Chain A
């Protein structure tokens, strides 16, 4: 299967949110003049987990964007047929023209990543920077990641790279096309 992907290295992600703002800037998600905290669309978010008790602690950070599901529930949920999985790239795309703004996809997305534009009444989300990657560029978040925690490429190849650099796939998190890895130790 053709599938583009991003590999998130938990040994490197520091949860700095640089990628979130860069993604917003690139995709014009913020009206800078009137922006107020809360309520700005965002195509990815940071999650983190602290484990242990003082002083034996460990912490992981990672980002969650559209997971480009193999069998996307959003595609099924959309009565208007506005969402599809692109055959060339495996990217799940929302056709803004067809989108009726019903919002069922938002409810059905298991990862909670689909955004709603109330003004234009349409759903939108991370499409792996489709307009960039089809021209040979990396997605914005991969390019700007402060800690070089993200890698872009074909899923199979990323898996090989993970293996070659001693990283183990975190199966629990890597349920769809986006990969989460950490040093095997």
Chain B
């Protein structure tokens, strides 16, 4: 008889990190599924994770670049040599007093991720995909009511009551980058009698299930919500008791004065949603026991901060903070620190690696992470000398891919690369690999240890899970965490005195009265399941400087941004004659965005079980005008780049928009390189050098791009 058992662990085919079970038979993973003790679901990417694990294309040993960056030529080396290369360069950097010129681009799996600890010990920066995606949302919520959500912190759909309203504004939660249970929970809420409203220029699966689809003009979300706020406030439909009690004195008067001219009719002209619909949605929300809003793509445009601000104001005046069905205010599990904790670098003193045209004004947006897409500028200005990357694919994810590639190969007068060392840990061939000096074979979630307790888990706060190895690692692969702990032991033994990753997690878990042993005995999760609503009532305050909700962002008074502008992003308002289409990039469930390994997963690129096409979507009305037929090859060009793609004509997309899936474009690996697919970041401008308003309205994310389409 062969031995077969289901082992609890965690998925990492995307950043949602769902708790799962893996069935291992004779040392081989055969099946996976959601862990019923957690939220019980696993999506198609996760299911296909076994294909990633066992793919012939797994990187199996460390490699060193030979030839020039970009050529993608490597020789096999041993781990010792790889470790020595990293240690030598990093020591040299520190000796030069330039530890802060080291940046590690990664997705931290917790706020105390061992890789992050190494970065702090080194005095370097961490950057994540996060600022690309939703830093404006984080900043807006932090500024207004002092909570820290990010795109994984979807509203808790399982708490939405009958009659509650769920608004998805440029958000595709059926694409599963929150928890895989989100689609089920949204549909369950609907069956309980909640209403689903989808605001989106593209009709996608969410719109197909919605009670109401509102095809907005891209970037019009701030205007739409300000129009609703105007209606609610001028008609006295807002939650007066809540505002009286919790909003900072004077802010409501300021808001009333500001909102006066943001009438539904005026806002309708900006967002292209009829004024009567703005009123209807406002009244629907006012009458509902709860409203939650989620946005993602819309919060990446050049007016992201305005949209985040308008959204925050809307939540406040409708009283939808930390209530069932409203905006959650998550907490993080109180893990124990592992002393001595290396202090993070002083961002105020060192500044970000930013070189935008109006850099000084950008300093208003204080954020604890380094935005990635300034990598190209940072290399150019000499503030990025050593770059490490794990579990990300900057060659595809950096806006302005062309600029990024140039920066990677930029040389100084002596013919040395300006970026002195580029180390990449990777599971499978990736686009980024071509530019790396060292490529280290990483492990999948099936082969490694990880302690996860990020607040973005759907259950919020007070939740932890252990990812445990369920099979032996492939080849000489080593988990990036272990590599960085080993490097830490060599360079900063005081901060890495613990035995290994498992002991590190064990100490941390004592903070919640747990240990690794207890966790594993208990199904690898710890989740009391309580959220605690209206926590500000117990605390008697919000986590803002004044302790009250701060509607007016006084710190931005000098740049005229104390109240949100309803205007579309600047990039959408100009050059409409030359570039008549607004690029709308969107996600699908079959891609972990630009993540290298989902691009090289045969099941996810199979037409039956995944997606194998990335045409540019056009409304037939537009196509007819341009003489474009379904399937024609077209050139999609922006001011900074162009790609050739087939056109697909569909009623799904609002006229004037061109739709493109985010995350294609990899040319490395047998699966990814099969088709003539192109990445949207070829078209999107490099934010550091091209976008004028970025620092004022965009916060830290801007993908607003206009394109023209020719045959």
Nearest opposing residue in chain B for A40, CB measure: B606
Taking CB atoms and an 8 Å cut-off, the chain B residues in 160-183 that contact chain A are: 174, 176, 180, 183
Q: B residues within 8 A CB of A147? A: 183-184, 187
User: Which of A14, A38, A42 has the most CB atoms of chain B within a 10 A radius of its CB?
Assistant: A14
B260 at the interface (CB under 8 A from A): no
Q: A residues within 8 A CB of B229? A: none
Contact A12 B651 (CB under 8 A): no
Contact A14 B174 (CB under 8 A): yes
Interchain nearest-CB distance for B453 vs A (Å):
25
B interface residues, how many (CB within 8 angstroms): 53
Query: A-facing mask of B630-665, CB < 8 A → 1, else 0?
Result: 000000000000000000001111110000000000
Contact A54 B215 (CB under 8 A): yes
Asked, given contacts A54-B215, A54-B619, whether A16 binds B43 with beta carbons under 8 Å apart, the answer is yes
Asked, given contacts A32-B54, A54-B619, whether A14 binds B209 with beta carbons under 8 Å apart, the answer is yes
Contact B610 A37 (CB under 8 A): yes
Residue in B53, B184, B606, B654 whose CB lies within 8 Å of A146: B184
How far, in whole Å, are A117 and B51 apart by their CA atoms in the complex?
A: 19
Query: B-facing mask of A21-34, CB < 8 A → 1, else 0?
Result: 11011101010111
Asked, given contacts A25-B32, A30-B51, A32-B50, whether A50 binds B652 with beta carbons under 8 Å apart, the answer is yes
Contact B209 A20 (CB under 8 A): no
Contact A16 B174 (CB under 8 A): yes
Asked, given contacts A54-B651, A144-B33, whether A60 binds B208 with beta carbons under 8 Å apart, the answer is yes
Contact B208 A32 (CB under 8 A): no
Known contacts A12-B187, A18-B44, A32-B54; can you find 16 more A-B pairs with CB under 8 A? A16-B205, A17-B609, A18-B43, A21-B609, A24-B609, A25-B31, A35-B602, A35-B603, A37-B602, A40-B603, A42-B608, A52-B651, A54-B215, A54-B653, A58-B208, A61-B205
How far, in whole Å, are A54 and B657 apart by their CA atoms in the complex?
A: 13
How far, in whole Å, are A54 and B618 apart by their CA atoms in the complex?
A: 12
How far, in whole Å, are A46 and B330 apart by their CA atoms in the complex?
A: 36
How far, in whole Å, are A16 and B176 apart by their CA atoms in the complex?
A: 10
Query: A-facing mask of B457-493, CB < 8 A → 1, else 0?
Result: 0000000000000000000000000000000000000
Q: A residues within 8 A CB of B209? A: 11, 14
Q: B residues within 8 A CB of A14? A: 174, 183, 205, 208-209
A59 at the interface (CB under 8 A from B): yes
B42 at the interface (CB under 8 A from A): yes
The 21 listed contacts between A and B (C-beta, < 8 Å) are: A11-B209, A14-B174, A17-B608, A18-B44, A20-B44, A21-B48, A21-B609, A34-B56, A37-B602, A37-B603, A45-B608, A50-B651, A53-B651, A57-B208, A58-B208, A59-B203, A143-B33, A144-B33, A144-B42, A146-B184, A147-B184
Residue in A42, A52, A143, A144 whose CB lies within 8 Å of B609: A42
A36 at the interface (CB under 8 A from B): yes
Q: B residues within 8 A CB of A37? A: 602-603, 605-607, 610, 612, 671, 674
Contact B47 A22 (CB under 8 A): yes
Asked, given contacts A32-B54, A144-B34, whether A21 binds B47 with beta carbons under 8 Å apart, the answer is yes
How far, in whole Å, are A30 and B609 apart by their CA atoms in the complex?
A: 12
Contact B51 A35 (CB under 8 A): yes
Contact A61 B208 (CB under 8 A): yes
Asked, given contacts A22-B31, A53-B651, whether A33 binds B55 with beta carbons under 8 Å apart, the answer is yes
Residue in B31, B41, B612 whose CB lies within 8 Å of A26: B31
